[in-house]
Structure 1
Amino acid sequence: MTVFTVFGGHGKVALLFTRFAREAKHVVYNVIRNPSHKEDIEEWGGRPKVLSLEEASANEIAGLLKETQTDVVIFSAGAGGKGGPERTKAVDYEGAVKVYDAMKIAGLRRLIMVSAIDNRDMNQPPPIHYTAADVKWSEEIHNAIPTYYHYKFLADQELIRRSDDIDWTILRPSLLTDEKSSGMIALGNISVKQPISRETVARAILGFASNAESQHLVIDMTEGDVPITTAILAFLGRRESSYDYPL
């Protein structure tokens, strides 16, 4: 049995992850800002914990991690475009950094960061496997939500700087849908335009979180044609990150 604590615990992916983790006999604590979400969390099998990443200190977050006896942290929090650039910075970047600090205070190492595909330095050339259509899509999506990508990039970059302290895995799903999962996934050097079911992402989070071999890897994912478990094992066998963040 593993004890997970999920920041952004009321998000759609987080709730699906909670259900799958509970079915596998794990314990999931869902960190939420709004107390009115408690019943939702409990219906999905989670254990709600009310805490605001914007207001809490790293020490307060560390206290929660110690109290719950957390084994693995899942960071799936985000402002979701609400509250303007300052709130995006406060949640997606500063909130993430507080969690990194809290993990060190609590003596906790394992973290799954749910990031986003194509989260990269746009001043550098695109990855060599990108097609012309991928490059066009990349430019369009970064122009559409530049603040989100800016702070997600800084959060991922800072996480990698802390590799001596944190056994991180960065998962970067493509455009999310509410379609039922096909049970199939593509990992690694993939087209950024292909969408992925939130259910598939949630199952992949559990698969990677349950395998220590995924630490210090950046993993792009879309819906694909290989069973999730098979694809994860194959990817881990290659030990090839999808992206190298400049430090």
Structure 2
Amino acid sequence: MTDSTRILLIGGHGKVALLATPMLIDASLEVTSMYRNPDHRSEIEELGAMPLERDVTTLSVEDWADLLKDFDVVVWSAGNGGKSGAAATYAIDRDAAIASIDGAASLGEQAPRYIMVSYVASTSHTIDPDASFYPYAESKKSADEHLAKTNLDYLILGPSGLTLDQVNGIEVIEDSTEAGADRTTSRILVAQVITEFAVREFPQTRVLPFVDGDTPVSAIR
């Protein structure tokens, strides 16, 4: 990677993206932060990122391709977070995410590297369909499985229960619900992992399940 690496943070006003923005800028990347609410522009500008106001649910595959062709790395960190009901969750976390993946994949050799912020064991969940978490779980499963079928250079991040705790490092775990049970992952650590792999090659695994630990992020291979 060079100092001119251009990165797009999708969901730029989310907690992880707001933490990652100054880290990425400090790493000499050109950061564009994509958000929906116009009220968030000033906060993003204050962090030093280029603001880009878009509603991910309105973008077609062709729209995504036209947008993503200008970037070297794209990070999907957008999500409904269950705030607006199941329909919005499927529209954002599944349909919009898949459209962005297809837009990137359509660029062929010019496609950006793709980092998907997900959660541990996303593709093997056993959430009850009646549970409130089910739409999110199904959406992430669909998007992650779709990404895995492409020829993109991609990395799926699988943190466990998210906190804002200070961290000393990372522990890579098995990609299973059992391995992530009763473990937590700081959003600060997620931001550190995004920054680490925005500036160097992805690790050997395409899926990186992790929790707070004592190993430096830079040691991951």
TM-score by length of 2: 0.88
Query: Which amino acid in structure 1 is aligned with residue 114 of structure 2?
Result: L
Residues 27-176 of structure 1 mapped to structure 2, 5 A cutoff? 27-66=30-69, 69-106=70-107, 107-122=110-125, 143=131, 145-162=133-150, 164=151, 166-176=152-162
Match of 2:214 in 1: 225
Number of aligned positions between the proteins: 211
Output the aligned Cα RMSD. 1.9
Q: Distance in 1 between matches of 2:156 and 2:146?
A: 12
SS in 2 for 1:169: strand
Query: Which amino acid in structure 1 is aligned with residue 99 of structure 2?
Result: K
The CA deviation at 1:144 is 5.1
Cα distance 1:5–1:153, how it changes in 2: closer, same or farther (>3 A)? Answer: same
The CA deviation at 1:188 is 2.8
The CA deviation at 1:64 is 2.3
Kept in 2: contact 1:32–1:49 (CA 8 A)? yes
From 18, 22, 33, the counterpart of 2:21? 18
* Percent of paired sites with the same residue: 35
Kept in 2: contact 1:176–1:196 (CA 8 A)? yes
Q: Distance in 1 between matches of 2:120 and 2:75?
A: 17
Q: Distance in 2 between matches of 1:215 and 1:50?
A: 34
The CA deviation at 1:27 is 0.9
Structure 1 or 2, whichever has the larger Rg, is 1
The CA deviation at 1:143 is 4.3
Larger mean Cα displacement after TM superposition, 105-114 or 81-90:
105-114
Q: Distance in 1 between matches of 2:37 and 2:169?
A: 34
The CA deviation at 1:115 is 0.4
Larger mean Cα displacement after TM superposition, 51-60 or 11-20:
51-60
Q: Distance in 1 between matches of 2:38 and 2:147?
A: 29
Larger mean Cα displacement after TM superposition, 198-207 or 51-60:
51-60
SS in 2 for 1:155: helix
Kept in 2: contact 1:3–1:26 (CA 8 A)? yes
The answer as to 2:179 corresponding to 1:183 is no
Cα distance 1:192–1:211, how it changes in 2: closer, same or farther (>3 A)? Answer: farther
SS in 2 for 1:20: helix
SS in 2 for 1:219: strand
Kept in 2: contact 1:167–1:216 (CA 8 A)? no
Gaps of 5+ in 2: none
SS in 2 for 1:54: helix
Residues 198-209 of structure 1 mapped to structure 2, 5 A cutoff? 198-209=187-198
The CA deviation at 1:178 is 1.4
SS in 2 for 1:5: strand
The CA deviation at 1:213 is 3.8
